[in-house]
């Protein structure tokens, strides 16, 4: 335990003791509170010479009298009108009682402050302790600013007859398919590159080289699953993916829902975080002639 914790513990127990003293005084005060008697009974006690000491506290139009009885050693109290005070003081003197008259009840504010001091200390200590705990909790959590990082991905494959066309994890109806080491999924490859780039984790060729026979004909969803694991290790999560696939045929729009579902499953995100678009190349170049297919992807990650 460090010195700060020791000091806090000592202050805490001191405050508990003070609180106990306050409660004891309150109970004792209630237990020893003077008995209130009527004026006539009070006068009778004076005449019977039962009063030993008396303290009179003057108010605006009245006087409070506290007396200690001889035999019972009990305190009693009564209130009289100011006009009756001369007669009562004369009776008290005649009975041999000691008399003390005060304009204001002496020591009241001092007693109040003395009794309230432990409670004030306790409340102050509790506030101090709460502030310290709050400060410690803030210091315990590392201050991290949320960071957004963006990566871009691009991929292109030649198309040849007799090969299956897989885009976004879905096989599409066409008599041509991509030439590639894996299944040639141009959208998944571009997406994987965009994610790896945003995470600063290289590119798809680094993790899945086309020289490794292990990846021959592999399902490209495996690449996305691997990218997701890398994101978990680096404490990143996918905020948004925007992609465009460029091909003359087939029409991709009707297949987007299934593509988004397959891609989202591989990446472990909601399908609503993936946006897909399709474009043609207006008959220009290899893509426009139906000889190739390409994809561009932008991925946005946030730290967590």
Per-residue pLDDT tens over the stretch 197-232: 999 999 988 888 888 888 888 899 999 999 999 999
Q: What is the 3-state secondary structure (H, E, C) of 43-61?
A: HHHHHCCCEEEEEEEECCC
Backbone φ and ψ for 179, nearest 5 degrees, come out as -90, 120
Whole-model pTM: value is: 0.54
CA–CA separation, 190 and 177 (whole Å):
17
Structure-model confidence comparison of residues 280 and 13, the more confident one: 280
pLDDT band at 251 (very low <50, low <70, confident <90, very high): very high
> 65-122 pLDDT, tens per residue?
888 888 888 888 888 888 888 888 888 888 888 888 887 544 455 555 555 666 676 6
Say which range, 12-21, 148-157, 177-186, has the weakest mean pLDDT.
Answer: 12-21
CATH number among 3.40.630.10, 3.10.580.10, 3.30.300.30, 3.30.720.210, domain 3-140: 3.30.720.210
53, burial (CB in 10 Å: exposed 0-12, middle 13-18, buried 19+): middle
Q: Is the pLDDT of residue 40 over 90?
A: no
Q: Is the pLDDT of residue 11 over 80?
A: no
3-class SS at 211? Answer: coil
pLDDT value at residue 141? 56
CA–CA separation, 53 and 98 (whole Å):
5
Kindly list the domain boundaries of the chain, sorted by start residue. 3-140, 148-303
Nearest-10 Cα torsion for 117, 121, 124, 130: -150
Q: What share of the chain in percent tops pLDDT 90? A: 44
CA–CA separation, 75 and 82 (whole Å):
21
pLDDT value at residue 8? 62
Question: What is the domain class of 148-303 according to CATH?
Answer: alpha beta
Count H helices, E strands: the chain? 9, 12
Q: Are strands 292-303 and 236-246 parallel, antiparallel or unpaired?
A: antiparallel
């Amino acid at each position: 335990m460090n010195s700060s914790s020791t000091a806090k513990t000592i202050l805490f127990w001191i405050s508990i003791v003070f609180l106990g003293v306050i409660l004891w005084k309150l109970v004792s005060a209630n237990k020893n509170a003077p008995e209130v008697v009527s004026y006539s009974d009070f006068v009778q006690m004076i005449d019977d010479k039962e009063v030993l000491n008396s303290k009179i506290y003057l108010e605006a139009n009245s006087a409070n009298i506290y007396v200690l009885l001889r035999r019972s050693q009990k305190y009693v109290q009564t209130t009289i009108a100011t006009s009756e005070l001369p007669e009562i003081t004369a009776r008290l003197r005649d009975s041999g009682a000691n008399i003390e008259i005060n304009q204001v009840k002496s020591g009241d504010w001092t007693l109040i402050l003395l009794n309230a001091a432990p409670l004030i200390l306790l409340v102050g200590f509790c506030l101090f302790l709460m502030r310290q705990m709050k400060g410690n909790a803030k210091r315990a959590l590392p201050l991290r600013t949320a960071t957004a990082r963006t990566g871009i991905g691009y991929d292109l494959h030649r198309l040849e007859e007799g090969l299956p066309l897989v885009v976004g994890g879905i096989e599409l109806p066409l008599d041509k398919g991509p030439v590639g080491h894996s299944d040639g999924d141009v959208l998944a490859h571009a997406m994987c590159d965009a994610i790896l780039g945003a995470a600063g984790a290289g590119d798809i060729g680094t993790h899945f080289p086309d020289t490794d026979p292990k990846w021959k004909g592999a399902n490209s969803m495996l690449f996305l699953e691997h990218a997701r694991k890398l994101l978990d290790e680096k404490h990143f999560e996918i905020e948004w993916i925007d992609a465009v696939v460029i091909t003359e045929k087939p029409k991709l729009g009707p297949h987007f829902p299934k593509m988004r579902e397959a891609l989202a499953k591989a990446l472990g995100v909601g399908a609503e975080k993936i946006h897909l678009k399709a474009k043609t190349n207006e008959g220009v170049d290899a893509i426009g002639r139906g000889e190739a297919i390409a994809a561009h992807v932008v991925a946005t990650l946030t730290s967590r």
